[in-house]
Chain A
């Protein structure tokens, strides 16, 4: 059983201890608490150098130290503290960095409230267990052979065909019937090459439909999107070493993943407000009567400050934009205001929950809207934002990369 050390300042006082343990058990892991004595707390906290006022944070530091010094045997570490506690946020991030710099043990961090449910913890625990069990796969930095990556998202199905560390075919379809969308996307990808199903070495699947598709196609890799998207993003952006943040503003939900050496260590996901999603930009482009592909360059040529936008809401915000147009405002200013509205709301709802690390790699379909990329950078104080090639296919690229080396279909045929 995978042992996950809980390094926290008091999950038991927030009423979420049971949820954490339940989430770990679901993925065949158990939560352990590094046992230490009082003297060791003083000693390790002094050695660490952070003068925390809260004794539980001192305990948190000491527990991290005991893992690094090998006093506690853990396979992975879950670092958690209360949401909105500034002192805990500082210590949480420094402890995370300390563990990553001084051990090879995978770490995931989380800031919780009393409303944290097990399903919010599931993807983190799954990613942790995956990292422990599949470290060798996540260490892959180069694609080999001929591999197919399939990302079955809630809105679209993306397919990528890779060979010799290069993308050679792409497919992109709205997700309707899951398998039908996959076959259609795969045909599109194969159409750009002379290859077919029989030539593949391996298939990797990710996204909401990954298990169904994986079973149907006997995929060699069926993997949650947190690890796959993170890996795909740093691979395409050529940032496999060091730290980075991956931002995916999707059509229905948004993901922000922080990454250390290609392995995800924190994650936040939102999906409650259409005004903070690609859907807002889709509606704006319809109102402006421009194709969504033209919205980005149009926004870049405009100035959001010239458009009145008093609401982030997809209903009232769009009404504000229409009012600006009626008052003689330019389409470019309105397009820019819409991009800034989405960027600011993503910032307020999600980016504040996570420690943003440069570079920021923006992926997903909305990363192709240049106005939004610029707005994200401006909102974050001019941070460097990278949009790699094939950014809209990130999950599929990650799956195709990670499955290489696992597939032995051609060798099996010869045997």
Chain B
């Protein structure tokens, strides 16, 4: 079983495909769910406080807008934990998104530069491409089984 990071980090489709193959998806929703259940923090809606953009300084400099650093404080640790990654380029909002183009660029860069097995795909735009898209993801996930995430 391999921990797989995804981009977009909250894509339900990618998460489902990964879990079906028995791997662990490093999804944004799981990280957020831990935050919102923390009884010690009361900063609705997502319990992100002013401390979180400071934690994001590990991934982006102080001159980077606070919204990017706040997002990276949640996404960054997922990337750190990743043993494999699937990146989908040019996906529409409904497929998953974190709202900020600068965070998107940084997230993809951090995943690409990590020395782990990676699969980067274009978002499919028709039926054939979609079959191919899912086939490639499944094949990649099977490879991870064989390689054990190395």
Contacts and interface: CB of A to CB of B under 8 A. Distances in A.
A10 B66 CA distance: 10
Contacts of A59: 99
A282 to B, nearest CB: 34
B52 interface: yes
Interface size class of A (residues with CB under 8 A): 20 to 34
Nearest to A59: B99
B102 to A, nearest CB: 7
Contact of A114 (B45, B46, B69): B69
Contacts of A10: 67, 70-71, 99-100
A57 B98 CA distance: 11
B68 interface: yes
Interface residues of B, number: 29
Nearest to A10: B67
A208 interface: no
Contacts of B12: none
Nearest to B93: A55
A143 to B, nearest CB: 43
A71 interface: no
Given A9-B100, A54-B101, A84 B46 contact: no
A57 B67 CA distance: 12
Contact of B48 (A14, A41, A54, A87): A14
A112 to B, nearest CB: 7
Given A10-B67, A55-B97, A82-B67, A114 B102 contact: no
Interface string A91-118: 0000000000000000000001111000
A15 B63 contact: no
B101 A13 contact: no
Interface string B80-94: 000000000000011
Interface in A1-25: 9-10, 12-18
Nearest to B105: A53
Contacts of B64: 84
B77 interface: no
B54 to A, nearest CB: 7
A17 B45 contact: yes
B70 A13 contact: yes
B46 to A, nearest CB: 5
A14 B71 CA distance: 8
A13 B71 contact: yes
Nearest to B94: A38
Contact of A85 (B46, B67, B94): B67
Contacts of A84: 63-65
B50 A114 contact: yes
B65 A88 contact: yes
Contact of B99 (A16, A55, A114): A55
Interface-centre pick from B65, B68, B69 (highest chain A CB count, 10 A): B65
Interface of B: 42-46, 48-54, 63-71, 93-94, 97, 99-102, 104
Interface of A: 9-10, 12-18, 38, 41, 52-59, 81-85, 87-88, 112-115
Given A16-B66, A55-B93, A83-B66, 11 more contacts: A9-B67, A10-B100, A17-B48, A18-B43, A53-B104, A81-B67, A82-B68, A85-B65, A87-B102, A114-B52, A114-B53
Ranked 10 nearest A-B pairs via Cβ:
A56-B99, A82-B65, A53-B101, A13-B70, A114-B53, A54-B101, A14-B66, A15-B50, A114-B66, A82-B67
